[in-house]
Amino acid sequence: MAGHCQATEDEYDAVKWKAISLTFVEYPDDDIIGKFLAYVSLVPLVILVGFVTLLLFRRELHTITFFGGIVLSEGVNWIAKNTIQEPRPCRGNDTLHGGLRTEYGMPSSHSQLMWFFATYTVLFIYIRLHQPNSNLFIEQVWRHLAAIGVILVALLVSGSRVYLKYHTVRQVVCGGLLGILLAVPWFIITQVVLTPLFPYLVSWPICEYFLIRDSTLIPNVLWFEYTTARTEARTRQRKLGNKMS
């Protein structure tokens, strides 16, 4: 009977419901800017999904270490939040965003992730991707545009957390500074300590089993893969033609 399948109002009240804050984003009704910034605040989720996709399909060591730095940064953020225990912004006597009232706000995890990502990416563009013989004007313009782009996105995401009242300005600034302070040494460790070990690591049986690769010494990976695939396709086409003749 229907009565056996429906919970009573008292039973619902006895259950504590909690929202998943990863994608639960609120914005003021009829606020175009707020709606835009709500979507912007989902960029960290897009970045995480992008990293998981790259790890599954490219399996490149540097991508793995980059993602490892982001995971480490998020761990530091969790420890800092639960140590400081500073609440999120309030509106009168009621805390905003009821689904997040059990989570702390200092420092902002969105801001920390974005500034870790932006700082590491800028260092990667100007140091890791720098080629001594690559002085073409178009390549220099691309570098500058890419660096400015990730910084602007980090600023937008950070600003969205304040505009939507998920964090105070201080929480966002502290999160951004912590992300930068973690990204710089992690890039140095990756560049100075880990990268020289990559050729040795890829020779491990477990790396060979999971097809993990190292593209450090290849200046233009996309062009290399394109030319390699084209050459292999032509070779197989010639072999197929010889068999049919």
Spell out the domain ranges in the chain: 30-214, 219-245
Tell me the C-alpha distance between 30 and 44, whole Å: 25
Q: Are 69 and 183 in contact (CB under 8 A)?
A: yes
In this predicted structure, what is the pLDDT of residue 235? 80
CA angle 10, 13, 19 (to 5 degrees): 155
| Averaged pLDDT, groups of 10, the chain, 245 residues long | 48 51 69 83 88 85 89 92 83 49 78 94 83 64 87 92 86 93 94 86 83 75 73 78 66
In this predicted structure, what is the pLDDT of residue 130? 60
Residue 104 has which token pair? 């702390």
